[in-house]
């Protein structure tokens, strides 16, 4: 590892041990997951949770997703229901987050849930976070490892760029395969998708065999904030760039290569497009483009999540 990046570690037994001890002392670390990289801390500790909010400059009213090794470890903290088990069986561990009622006996810091009576839980698949969660006696609160409202990081260097040496440990687990945040589904009442992700609403519908609630919800949640996932330069949807100082995000083989064209997936694969979205937006910004224009992206499957992120980035 280069000297500049002395806080980025490869995955091995030694770093796992060091990280476990570090987390026990209510410190915060940068960790890989299959969706995006996260900023992790002890979900049972007010002290750790305060550090996460302050590092991210995240509004305190926006609750954090709590990560567990498996459902047994979450028993004490939430009330499960039938819909939960159906989806758990099909998709976990994986890129899906469940909002459930908080258990009366839960030890989760009320700061992490923004004093709501609900908790958002996820069971990540990436082997680094799974290994850590297995050894820990507490779950990890873990929002994406970026300053609030910006783009989520998809590799260890993205995390370094956000926080530099403010983090003592960032574990390098390679590029996040999925590349966008988890699907969030509220199961406290009639199921409702709060945030689309790589697991599409239809896949969930097929398992639950029910339609989603259309009720407007009044949740104070970050993924639901209009402006989010912003690359820091204007994003304009459905128009072509005016000149070559403007980048053009395109999708599919009908687009020729050009210096200011960035193809999310030449072969027209929406999963690949989702995995490339933040990487490409970061690259565009780094290359000095002043604006991002976006061509039409199909709105089904992972396309729903891509359009959701682009639309919020454009606000």
Residues at the site binding ligand AMP, with contacts judged by CB under 6 A: 63-65, 97, 99, 113, 116, 118-120, 143-144, 181, 184, 194-195, 219, 221-224
Nearer to ligand AMP, 200 or 295 (CB): 200
Show the binding pattern over residues 94-133: x = contacts Mg ion (CB under 5 A), - = does not.
----------------------------------------
Nearer to Mg ion, 19 or 152 (CB): 152
Q: Which residue is nearest to Mg ion (CB)?
A: 144
Q: Which entry of ligand AMP, Mg ion, none binds 188, CB below 5 to 8 A by partner kind?
A: none
Nearer to Mg ion, 97 or 144 (CB): 144
Q: Which entry of Mg ion, ligand AMP, none binds 224, CB below 5 to 8 A by partner kind?
A: ligand AMP
Q: Which residue is listed with tokens 């258990």? A: 103
Give the nearest distance from C-beta 1 to ligand AMP in angstroms: 28
Nearest to 3 by CA among 158, 165, 183: 165
**b/e for 147-174, b at 16 or more Cβ within 10 A?**
ebbbbbbbbbebbbebbeeebebbbbbe
Nearer to Mg ion, 42 or 149 (CB): 149
Peptide bond into 93 cis (omega under 30): yes
Q: In the numeric block, which tokens belong to residue 272?
A: 């690949």
Contact of 72 with 127, CB cutoff 8 Å: no
Measured CA distances, 188 to 194, 201, 287 (Å): 12, 17, 44
Question: Under the criterion CB under 5 A, does residue 144 sit at the interface with Mg ion?
Answer: yes
Q: In the numeric block, which tokens belong to residue 156?
A: 């260890």
Q: In the numeric block, which tokens belong to residue 177?
A: 């395969």
Q: Which entry of Mg ion, ligand AMP, none binds 225, CB below 5 to 8 A by partner kind?
A: none
DSSP label at residue 281: H
Q: What is the largest CA-CA distance in the chain?
A: 59
Nearer to ligand AMP, 143 or 241 (CB): 143
Give the nearest distance from C-beta 240 to ligand AMP in angstroms: 31
Nearer to ligand AMP, 99 or 208 (CB): 99
Name every residue whose Cβ is closer than 8 Å to that of residue 299 and which is 6 or more positions away in sequence: 307
Q: Please give the residue ranges that form the binding site for Mg ion (CB under 5 A).
A: 144
């Amino acid at each position: 590892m280069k000297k500049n990046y002395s806080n980025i570690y490869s995955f091995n037994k030694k770093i796992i041990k060091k990280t476990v001890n570090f987390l026990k002392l209510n410190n915060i670390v940068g960790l890989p997951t299959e969706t995006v990289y996260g900023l992790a801390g002890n979900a049972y500790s007010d002290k750790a949770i305060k550090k996460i909010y302050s590092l991210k400059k995240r509004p305190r009213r926006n609750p954090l997703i709590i990560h567990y090794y498996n459902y047994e470890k979450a028993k004490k903290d939430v009330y499960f229901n039938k819909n939960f088990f159906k989806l758990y069986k099909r998709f976990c561990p994986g890129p899906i987050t469940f909002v459930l009622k908080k258990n009366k006996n839960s030890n989760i810091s009320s700061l992490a849930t923004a004093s709501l009576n609900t908790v958002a839980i996820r069971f990540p698949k990436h082997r680094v976070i799974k290994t850590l969660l297995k050894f820990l006696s507490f779950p990890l609160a873990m929002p994406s490892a970026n300053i609030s409202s910006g783009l989520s990081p998809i590799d260890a260097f993205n995390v370094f760029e956000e926080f530099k040496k403010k983090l003592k440990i960032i574990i390098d687990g390679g590029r996040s395969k999925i590349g966008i945040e988890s699907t969030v589904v509220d199961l406290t009442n009639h199921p409702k998708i709060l945030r689309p992700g790589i697991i599409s609403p239809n896949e969930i519908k097929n398992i639950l065999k029910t339609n989603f609630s259309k009720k407007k919800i009044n949740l104070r949640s970050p993924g639901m904030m209009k402006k989010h996932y912003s690359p820091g330069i204007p994003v304009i949807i459905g128009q072509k760039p005016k000149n070559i100082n403007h980048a053009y995000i395109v999708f599919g083989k009908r687009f020729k290569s050009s210096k200011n064209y960035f193809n999310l997936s030449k072969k027209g694969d929406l999963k690949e497009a989702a995995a490339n979205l933040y990487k490409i937006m970061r690259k565009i910004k780094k290359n000095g483009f002043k604006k991002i224009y976006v061509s039409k992206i199909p709105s089904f499957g992972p396309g729903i999540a891509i359009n959701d992120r682009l639309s919020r980035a454009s606000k």
